[in-house]
């Protein structure tokens, strides 16, 4: 056979070979997304919206189901990070409070009175601190796609008005997780008690604890005014950042297009979550309808002045200094510099 005839035979043979498309990755029938609490609080709403956006925009190829109340970890939200690394959950909207015991750098958001306002919070999540924390999560097998906001945590109780550090003496105050909160409330003379959110409501209703600290939107959503919580102090001592995270191995299993879809949906859900978390608090761009609703329900609302907040910050400065070393001196320096730049 001539050389030209051989080439023609090879070409014809190639054309006769059936085309084999690139294999589509085998996706799970369901991806599990864990979150603390449930609708209507903005924290949980962010998780539900993320799941809905992904499911809709992928036209069902990526079917995400939300498991609220941290039910996949028995209601113990501090176990969500471990559960993701074990493959029990695929996605999570993490509270930085709940993961700080395992990821010490996440404790930057719990340093008392570090962030004076929402501009300071935004400077952290959108700047070098946020990028550093994302890289740290990556080393923990989690891809951080976006940062959201649970909200500034305010303190409520059943006993009395809180305006000064001395007012906390003897009060039994529940906190979610993290030894820093134990140190904060001990320094103020309170009796801190750690418990899951699932256990908080019955503890308030029976008087096992006198008070708790959570964002206003959560207080309203779960009707804590019906659990003897009649005194609320707006002191803005910490703001709990949220991380919209997905298992690195799960993220890697998607096509590049679906990885980008997952990221875009997380960013959009986080943006919506932040807007909801700030609604009605009287900050620039919102009214004070949430605070007015507290008063309508019979809750005494005490908004601390700058001088009153300063008194708490001074009382807690030893706690701040000690824990900034645990979080990381360099990360704390970056945070303080970012906040100064927007103050």
User: 89: domain CATH number?
Assistant: 3.40.190.170
Cα dihedral 278, 283, 285, 291 in deg (nearest 10): 70
Give the Å distances, CA to CA, from 132 to 41, 87, 124, 143: 28, 24, 10, 13
| CA dihedral over 275, 154, 200, 318, signed as positive or negative | positive
Residue 4, in any domain of the structure: no
Number of structural domains found in the chain: 1
Residue ranges in the chain assigned as alpha helix (H) = 3-16, 42-57, 80-85, 96-99, 118-125, 128-139, 179-187, 197-206, 216-221, 248-253, 256-277, 289-296, 306-315, 317-327, 329-342
Q: Per DSSP, what are the bridge partners of residue 76?
A: none
Residue 104, in any domain of the structure: yes
pLDDT at residue 277 tops 50: yes
Average pLDDT over residues 230-248: 97
Average pLDDT over residues 191-212: 93
Pair 276, 148: CB distance under 8 Å: no
Number of neighbouring beta carbons within 10 Å of residue 245: 28
How far is 334 from 213, CA to CA, in rounded Å? 27
Please write the tens of the pLDDT for every residue from 44-66.
Answer: 999 999 999 999 999 999 999 99
pLDDT of residue 23: 55
Percent of the chain exceeding pLDDT 70 equals: 93
pLDDT of residue 112: 98
How far is 185 from 155, CA to CA, in rounded Å? 11
How far is 80 from 92, CA to CA, in rounded Å? 8
Please write the tens of the pLDDT for every residue from 132-185.
Answer: 999 999 999 999 999 999 999 999 999 999 999 999 999 999 998 889 999 999
Residue 2, in any domain of the structure: no
Q: Which two tokens stand for residue 137?
A: 């999560």
Q: Give this prediction's pTM.
A: 0.90
Tell me which residue range forms the domain holding 193: 31-342
Q: How confident is the model at residue 119 (pLDDT cuts 50, 70, 90)?
A: very high
How far is 195 from 200, CA to CA, in rounded Å? 7
Residue 294, in any domain of the structure: yes
How far is 63 from 85, CA to CA, in rounded Å? 20
Q: Which two tokens stand for residue 56?
A: 């809709």
pLDDT of residue 21: 42
pLDDT at residue 9 tops 60: no
Element (H, E) at 140: none
Residue 108, in any domain of the structure: yes
Q: How far apart are the first and last CA of the chain?
A: 84
Average pLDDT, the chain: 92
The candidate with the shortest Cα–Cα distance to 71, out of 92, 55, 96, 86, is 92
Residue 26, in any domain of the structure: no
Q: In what order do the strands lie in the sheet with 31-34?
A: 64-67, 31-34, 91-95, 239-247, 142-152
Residue 1, in any domain of the structure: no
Q: How confident is the model at residue 3 (pLDDT cuts 50, 70, 90)?
A: very low
pLDDT of residue 219: 95
Residue 18, in any domain of the structure: no
């Amino acid at each position: 056979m001539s050389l030209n005839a051989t080439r023609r035979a090879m070409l014809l043979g190639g054309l006769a070979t059936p085309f084999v498309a690139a294999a589509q990755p085998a996706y799970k029938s369901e991806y599990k997304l864990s979150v603390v609490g449930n609708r209507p609080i903005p924290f949980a709403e962010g998780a539900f919206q993320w799941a809905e956006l992904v499911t809709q925009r992928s036209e069902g190829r990526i079917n995400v189901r939300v498991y609220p109340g941290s039910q996949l970890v028995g209601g113990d939200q501090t176990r969500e990070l471990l559960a993701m690394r074990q493959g029990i959950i695929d996605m999570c909207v993490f509270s930085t409070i709940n993961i700080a015991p395992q990821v010490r750098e996440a404790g930057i958001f719990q340093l008392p009175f570090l962030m004076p306002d929402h501009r300071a919070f935004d400077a952290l999540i959108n700047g070098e601190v946020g990028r550093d924390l994302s890289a740290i999560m990556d080393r923990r097998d989690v891809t951080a796609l976006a940062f959201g906001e649970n909200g500034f945590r305010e303190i409520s109780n059943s006993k009395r008005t809180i305006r000064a550090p001395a007012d906390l003496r003897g009060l039994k105050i529940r906190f979610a997780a993290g030894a820093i909160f134990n140190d904060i409330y001990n320094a103020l003379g309170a009796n801190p008690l750690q418990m899951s959110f699932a256990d908080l409501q019955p503890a308030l209703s029976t008087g096992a604890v006198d008070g708790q600290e959570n964002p206003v939107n959560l207080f309203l959503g779960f009707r804590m005014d019906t659990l003897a919580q009649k005194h609320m102090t707006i002191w803005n001592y910490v703001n709990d950042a949220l991380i919209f995270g997905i298992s690195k191995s799960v993220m890697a299993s998607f096509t590049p297009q679906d990885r980008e879809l997952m990221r875009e949906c997380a960013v959009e859900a986080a943006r919506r979550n932040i807007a909801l978390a700030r609604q009605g608090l009287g900050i620039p761009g919102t009214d004070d309808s949430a605070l007015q609703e507290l008063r309508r329900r019979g809750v005494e609302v005490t908004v601390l002045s700058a001088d009153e907040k300063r008194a708490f910050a001074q009382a807690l400065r030893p706690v701040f200094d000690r824990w900034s070393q645990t979080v990381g001196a360099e990360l704390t320096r970056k945070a303080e510099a970012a906040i100064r730049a927007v103050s």
